[in-house]
Structure 1
Amino acid sequence: MIKQLLSKSLFVVLFFALPAIAFSQNGWEAEESPLMTKWADEVSPENALPEYPRPMMEREHWKNLNGLWDFKITGKGNSGEDYDDQILVPYPVESALSGIKETVGAENRVWYKRLFEIDNPHEDGRVLLHFGASDWETDVRINDKYVGKHRGGYDPFTFDITDQVSGSGEQEIEITVWDPTDLGSQPVGKQTHDPHSIWYTAVTGIWQTVWIEYVPESYIKDLKITPDVDNSRVKVEVEGKNLSDDYQIHIKAKEEDKLVGESTGFHKQDFYISLDDPQLWTPDNPFLYDLEVELLGENGNTVDEVSSYFGMRKINIAKADDGHMRLFLNNEPLFHIGPLDQGWWPDGLYTAPTDDALKYDIEATKKLGYNMLRKHVKTEPQRFYYWADKLGVLVWQDMPNGDMRPGEIGKPSKETAKQFKKEYKDMIDTFYNHPSIVMWVPFNEGWGQFQTREIVEWTQEYDPTRLVNNASGWTDRGVGDVIDMHAYPGPDMPETEDNRAAVLGEYGGEALVVKDHLWVQDFSRAPDHYETSQSETQLHETYSQMMQELYDLKDNGLSAAVYTQTTDVESEVNGLMTYDREVIKFNVEELMRLHKKLIEE
């Protein structure tokens, strides 16, 4: 939680700087890094992201497999070397918190192995092995029996390992991962084998929680929750596994402990729960209803149950009273203002060191008076979106960009196109239930862009509950719900249209070097397209002037603006905060005032 700032100083130091040293706990050490966050010293083999990883569908019986695993790096086609090291899962191999911090590269692969216990409370139940995310091609063996392969660096995936485990007791799991990063054809975001400028250190292997879940033979596999604000009801679709036609579903919606609606019926039907005068989810009032879902067997007994939640939220575009197309939330126009959020960490790279750290970036966004963020060419663990839901921030969710190697623009290989579409669909499926996500962004600028109209139209049909931004900045194809431009330093706006809302997908990028909080000291390869302020006073004056210009642009029809960016990242120093999150470069109260005026007036 950001501390209350009593000083009017424009430069706020929240925590003392941590030296670039290794942390040692229980035989594990984080590798040396030029920068660490204050949360790094809370990380240990016994405390490596221990929280339940999927708050949207929670069960009682599960086991976290994060912690120390045996580890090795071999050539891509080689598996012969003995395990000679240990890694702290789920931190990426290249990160300091992994305890490895080595470059892997496309010519190598990484290997993980550990023992774990099975204690399934369900008679004849199933054992599910879940991965939050692993980048990129992951193969799994249990007790030396091959389980399966997954290709995708940003989506969760599951293997049923019931047939591979040996009853109860000790089991062995072995995982190998290969990741060509930007030398491959898969979605890769801002990772590169050659970090510089706006391109960051590659991430290889497991980077989100690995966990075991115990379920009965017949169980609830997934939920799809769709709020219907106009009809004061919520739609729930339940996907089951190993169910006969006689199985039923019982769903209860609760406001704290008070039952506010319920529905029962056979599992193949859609369920609708009506709500009397429902509380609507907004950034100012992020109210969430609890949801309890039971699977009832042929004799009416409870076979399986999961807990979930939902927010009553509607997002659309419409013509406002001022005659401009606007973004509407719950049938009211709302200006979106927020930062470009990269989601990178100096100690964990793709992986926040702790859940509190993950939560902190959203808390900081709210404290600075923003009501949205644009999650930039990266996805996050599901707990990030849980905190966005709970704390109240609108999310524009980018799809990590695909193959950007030189070639004919708009004509990727069949393999590239197929993999992008698969991972894009998986992203939408994974995060569909989160009320905070209000816009899908399949493409950023021209990065890997192809078949834009086809992909946008598919998205609008597949998920009609959200807006679609066909391409954020520079390569608009005339489709989708918004026309988006980038302007550095800006601000600026695209021409208004009759059928789409005008938004500013990126602007600002005002840089300020903060001594003792830098990832690199040599800025010879740093970005050269951002303006650098020489002092915190100049930085704040420039930001205030930009806000004054945004007020006028809003009057002219601008509906949203995204400031670059939440934090410094590696060689970029244009964050609202330093990369280690120790320094906020602005006066918090003043930014809150500036943003409130833009949103409310």
Structure 2
Amino acid sequence: MKLKLSLFALSTLSLTPCLAQIKKNIDNNIITVNYQTKPIRMATRWAKDVSPMNVLKEYPRPQLQRNSWINLNGPWDYCITDSSVEMPNSFEGTILVPFPIESALSGVQKQLDPDKRLWYRKIIPCPVVNNENRILLNFGAVDWLASVFINGKKVGQHSGGYQSFGFDITDFLLPGNNEILVKVYDPTDQGPNPHGKQALHPQNIYYTPSSGIWQTVWMETVSSTHITYLKATPDIDQKSLHLDIVTQGDAKNCKLEIKVLSNDKIINTVAVPIIKNQGNTTINIPNARLWSPDDPFLYDLSVQLTANGSPLDLVKSYFGMRKINIQKDDKGMDRIFLNNKYTYNLGVLDQGFWPDGLYTAPTDDALSFDIKAIKSLGFNTIRKHIKIEPERWYYYADKIGVLVWQDFVNPPYNLPDGSRAIFEKEIRETMDQLHNHPSIVTWVLFNERWGAYDQQRLTDWVKKYDTSRILNAHSGELLFVNDELREPSETPWIHSDIADVHSYPNPRIPVAQPNQARVLGEFGGVGVSVPNHEWNDIQGWGYVQVNPGELKKRYTHMMEKLRDLERVGLSASIYTQPFDVEGEENGLLTYDRAIIKIPVSEIRDINKKLVNQSGGFTSDSSLSVVMNIDTSDNDNKYEELLAEYKNGGRDSSLLRRLVLMALRKKDQNNACIIGNDYFDILADPYSKENLIFLLQTARTDKDRGFIICRDKPELVDTKLGKNSAIRKIEKVIDAENIAPIYRSNPNWDEIQQRVRIKYGNLGEEYVLGRRMIYYGFESSDWKNFGKYYVLYFKRALTHPTGYSLNNVTWVLYEHVSDPEVLKFARDVMKYAIENLDNSAEAYDTYAQLLHRTNQSKEAIKWEEKALNMIKGTPNEKTFAETLQKMKAGQPTWPPNN
């Protein structure tokens, strides 16, 4: 689709002499930088356009844009230090800002551990500015806690991995060269911070972290009195726009001169006095042209700050006239209405990850491509899932015309100390930062109970804070997988504008709720692997895995089901997902945006049945470079490729693919033979990537991956993490010796003896654990469960066991009455809390064991800690009742036990 760009958003920008000199010197320095992208598992077509001289050069803040600015993206020095280091003495190399340090495009590709600190340094030349101007240093986003220093002096600190921030650095600048230093602490999923779907050890639905600077860094020159914030709220019923503008500095005798433009023509002007650094006004918008996906029309806005007629500051912005709310249709059903018209929200779950840049798109064209592609497929809605994008993403959503459901980034699941205050601070900042974007029509407070607490209070607060949007207070509070409800809720969607269920893979509709629109917040998840376009060919995942030729049939059936549900009240549906993400292969396009799994025209035709595709849905020309999937290139080629191997084919990609095919075909003999041949031809068989493949494809003790774990455990653990070798050995022991007979009343003594002879103490320890689980979770033999709980954890407690100590111990607490076993279990939970598990649930289990072993005074202390951690969640009532029983000296364990 051809876009008419905003009058201001991509204009040529002028520089003050100070910033012009900085730009000239920085450009000269960049030419000498030796930058090289790290090896990329898979690259998008835009990665080749990234270089030290070409890094996201566009103005990053279209809603508050100035002419005098300079982009600081590009090469910076970096180093990683211990947390105790106050200032680094040296730097390790060059990092390309703003790509996360874990990404290939950063040129570094290293993991940042929670006990380390990441430092950035940039040297810029700058003369001393006059008394009339100030220099601002701005950051689009830094994950998570950033401290900024200029010439060794701390300017400020900001927490929040998704919100923009900046500091006035004028008073810290010196003539000549100046050093910008940024210190970053990012615990990812190990701290109190909202971290989205990033994890230090990603698997399934969690992905590679993005630490440090991951959005544009820039400087701008402003007057000492200048505009800091602009909030625009449309009211289509009153045909008006309300503006709230905040300034900084001495605003005495200052006023705001505001112009509203439509297609470059001024349609209204207003002069507003500044009172206590605030300027508020309501502007009439005659014959308002309404914003919608069918017609994403935007008005331009110019705001100039003047003092006694002299200009001090000028910012350019834009806005859209639109309204979103819940109304009843002509049948009395509560629906989502856009501009007072029922509009079905047909959407996708977009997670915003990139194989080469992780959280950061390689280029601005790449950033806009995702939105163009989604709309070209006939969708009118994007649910932006557990991530806040750079402002330019929302700019393109506004320009291209899609409805956005914006998730807040959830707090950590176990709600550690401080996490609630941090979460509430960040969602408030998110609403402030994104308020002006007409595309955002829905806030999503919580997703599938991830870190959920105080739902009613937070729902009411968000709805009061932003009355211009609807609130999906708990997307997927009821989650169905294969038509089974994972966990019920006593008061689902309390005070929400929306009743939202998730259902995988097939669609369903929530039960009608008064004054709430009914939506399907997630469904689908149909996985299709595409050879040579996979992030991890051994991990491909979807709720359902199908061959390429089956996907269209599945998708068509789901859309037909949606039409039936829409007729009885469904207002929206969100398909998972538009693009594969790392190990998730359930996208309509591959992760590299190179292959589409159903032809564009065919998806558009299917989606037409739910969304009328007007001129606003013209298929974008950039999709022409996306190739259709080869539906014949699937596991049916196994015999053909196997014959090629038997005829002498030894290409590494052929062998790798054959190993995976053989495993899926359950041809274990060939999988082992070909896998060992694959190992023999590898140039670096003990690299991390190769070890991951060898271990994950090892199924027997004859596979080379198993042999490496047995003979070189230290090497494996060094590359893949502590106890990786043991875990693989245990899996093979189980697969060969226990799993085949597990369901047929196994002779455990015989198994234990055989495994001990074959694998030694490690094998016997593993069998003890399996016996424990069998007696407790399969046969309800509680006496033997207690016996083998003690035997196993006497050996295995101090190293990772593969079992949740809390979950196993809770079952023991409920069913075993032997006092000595209970005392041992109490000590197990004490160790778990001190070393492994700091959750409220673990505290509760420990407290109940203390209470049951006659240490009630200590038990009450731990239960009070657990209750304090769990306040505001569904478990609060249960924990409170347990505490009261303890204080009253009553049993908390099940009767007759």
| Shorter-chain TM-score tier | over 0.9
Q: Which moved further from structure 2: 179-188 or 69-78?
A: 69-78
Q: Normalized against structure 1, the TM-score is what?
A: 0.92
Q: Output the CA distance in 2 between the equivalents of 1:56 and 1:108.
A: 35
Instruction: State the 4+ residue runs in structure 1 displaced beyond 4 angstroms.
Output: 119-123
Aligned residue for 1:234, secondary structure, equals strand
Matched to 2:395, the amino acid is: Y
**Distance in 1 of aligned mates of 2:607 and 2:129:** 52
2:119 corresponds to 1:111: yes
Tell me how far apart the structure 1 counterparts of residues 32 and 575 of structure 2 sit (CA, whole Å): 39
1:414 to 1:27, Cα distance in 2 relative to 1, 3 A: closer
Q: Is the partner of 2:184 in helix, strand or coil?
A: strand
CA distance in 1, matches of 2:360, 2:251: 41
How far apart in 1 are the matches of 2:330 and 2:417? Answer: 46
Alignment partners' CA distance in 1, 2:338 and 2:560: 24
Task: Go from structure 1 to structure 2 and tell me whether the alpha carbon gap of 1:47 and 1:326 turns closer, same or farther (over 3 Å shift).
Answer: same
Give the whole-Å Cα distance in 1 for the aligned partners of 2:127 and 2:341: 51
Residue 174 of structure 1: which of 175, 181, 198 is its match?
A: 181
Q: Deviations over 1:536-564 (max 9, x none)?
A: x3100100000000000000100000000
Contact 1:91/1:206 (CA < 8 Å) preserved in 2?
Answer: yes
The 1:121/1:597 distance shift into structure 2, 3 A limit, reads: farther
Alignment of structure 1 residues 84-99 onto 2, 5 Å? 84-99=92-107
1:432 aligns with 2:448: no
Structure 1 counterpart SS, 2:461 = helix
Q: Does 1:533 align with 2:540?
A: no
Q: Residue 463 of structure 2 aligns to which amino acid in structure 1?
A: Q
Q: What residue is the counterpart of 1:54 in the other structure? A: 61
Distance 2:528 2:129 in 1: 55
Q: For 1:216 and 1:25, how far apart are their aligned partners in 2?
A: 34
Is 2:496 the partner of 1:480?
Answer: yes
Shift of 1:269: 4.0
- In structure 1, what residue type is equivalent to 2:545? T
| Between 123-132 and 277-286, the greater mean CA deviation after superposition | 123-132
Post-superposition shift, 1:489? 0.4
Aligned to 1:346: 355
**What does residue 854 of structure 2 align with?**
none
AA paired with 1:311? Answer: G
SS at match of 1:326: strand
Aligned to 1:9: none
Find the partner of 1:500 among 511, 516, 526: 516
The equivalences for 1:348-497 within 5 A come to 348-405=357-414, 412-474=415-477, 476-497=492-513
Correspondence for 1:263: 270
Cα displacement (A) at 1:170: 2.7
Using the aligned pairs only, state the percent identity: 45
Cα displacement (A) at 1:474: 2.3
Normalising by structure 2, report the TM-score.
0.62
Residues 122 and 363 from structure 1, CA distance in 2 versus in 1: closer, same or farther, beyond 3 angstroms? farther
- How far is 1:442 from its partner? 1.5
How far off its partner does 1:80 sit? 4.2
**1:565 aligned partner, one-letter code:** Q
Cα contact 1:74–1:81 (8 A) shared by 2: no
Tell me which residue corresponds to 1:578: 590
The separation in 1 between residues aligned to 2:495 and 2:193, in whole angstroms, is: 25
Q: Any conservation in 2 of the 1:512–1:532 contact (CA below 8 Å)? A: yes
More strand by share: 1
* 8 Å CA contact retained: 2:256, 2:279: no
The code of the aligned residue for 2:42 comes to: L
Q: What amino acid does structure 1 have at the position aligned with 2:534?
A: L
Q: CA deviation at 1:84?
A: 2.1
Task: Give the partner amino acid of 2:102.
Answer: E
| Aligned position for 1:334 | 343
Tell me, in whole angstroms, the C-alpha distance in 2 between the residues paired with 1:432 and 1:119. 36
**What is the CA-CA distance between 1:590 and the residue it aligns to?**
2.0
**In the alignment, is residue 515 of structure 1 matched against residue 519 of structure 2?**
no
1:224-250 per-residue CA deviation (whole Å, 9 max, x = no partner) reads: 000110011111111001133421111
CA distance in 1, matches of 2:612, 2:368: 26
Verify the 8 A CA contact 1:37 1:581 in the aligned structure 2. yes
Shift of 1:76: 1.9
Matches of 1:365 and 1:206 in 2, distance apart?
28
Matches within 5 A, 1:157-168: 157-167=165-175
Gaps of 5+ in 1: 3-23, 406-411
Greater Cα radius of gyration, structure 1 or 2: 2
- Please point out which of 279, 301, 308 is paired with 2:289: 279
Q: Structure 2: 5+ residue runs without aligned partners?
A: 3-30, 479-491, 614-897
The question of 1:542 aligning with 2:554 is answered yes
Distance of 1:74 and 1:414 partners within structure 2: 26
C-alpha distance in 2 between matches for 1:343 and 1:307 = 27
User: 2:517 is aligned with what amino acid?
Assistant: A
Instruction: Please give the alpha-carbon distance, in whole angstroms, between the structure 1 residues aligned to 2:130 and 2:400.
Output: 36
Cα distance in 2 for residues equivalent to 1:172 and 1:121: 16
Provide closer, same or farther for how the CA distance between residues 257 and 511 of structure 1 changes in structure 2, counting only shifts above 3 A.
Answer: same
2: CA distance between counterparts of 1:117 and 1:370? 48
CA contact (8 A) 1:373 1:396 kept: yes
> For the residues of structure 1 that align with 2:595 and 2:208, how far apart are their CA atoms?
22
1:400 alignment partner, SS class? coil
Give the direction of change, closer, same or farther, for the CA distance of 1:118–1:596 in structure 2 (3 Å limit): farther
- Name the counterpart of 2:244: 237
Letter in 2 for 1:415: G
Q: 2-side partners of 1:468 and 1:455: how far apart?
A: 11
Alignment check: 8 A CA contact 1:509 1:531 kept: yes
Report if aligned partners of 2:526, 2:551 keep a CA contact under 8 Å in 1: yes
* Distance change >3 Å, CA 142–CA 470, structure 1 → 2: same
d(CA) in 1 for partners of 2:88, 2:142: 22
- Structure with bigger helix share is 2
Displacement of 1:127 after TM fit? 0.9
Structure 1 residues 122 and 283: CA distance shift in structure 2, 3 A: farther
Q: CA deviation at 1:479?
A: 1.8
1:553 corresponding residue in structure 2: 565
Equivalent pair of 1:35/1:517 in contact (CA under 8 Å): yes
Aligned CA-pair RMSD: 1.7
1:245-287 deviations in Å (ceiling 9; x for gaps):
4211110000122111121120234212112211000001000
8 A contact 1:94–1:100 mirrored in 2: yes
Alpha carbons of 1:228 and 1:263: their partners in 2 closer, same or farther (altered >3 Å)?
same
Q: Which residue of 2 aligns with 1:251?
A: 258
Deviation at 1:25, TM superposition (A): 10
Matched letter for residue 439 of structure 2? S
Distance 2:578 2:493 in 1: 28
Aligned residues of 1:368 and 1:589 also touching (Cα < 8 A) = yes
Question: Aligned-pair distance for 1:63?
Answer: 0.9
Instruction: Letter of the 2:331 partner, please give it.
Output: D
Task: Please point out which of 310, 321, 333 is paired with 2:319.
Answer: 310
Report the equivalent of 2:302. 292
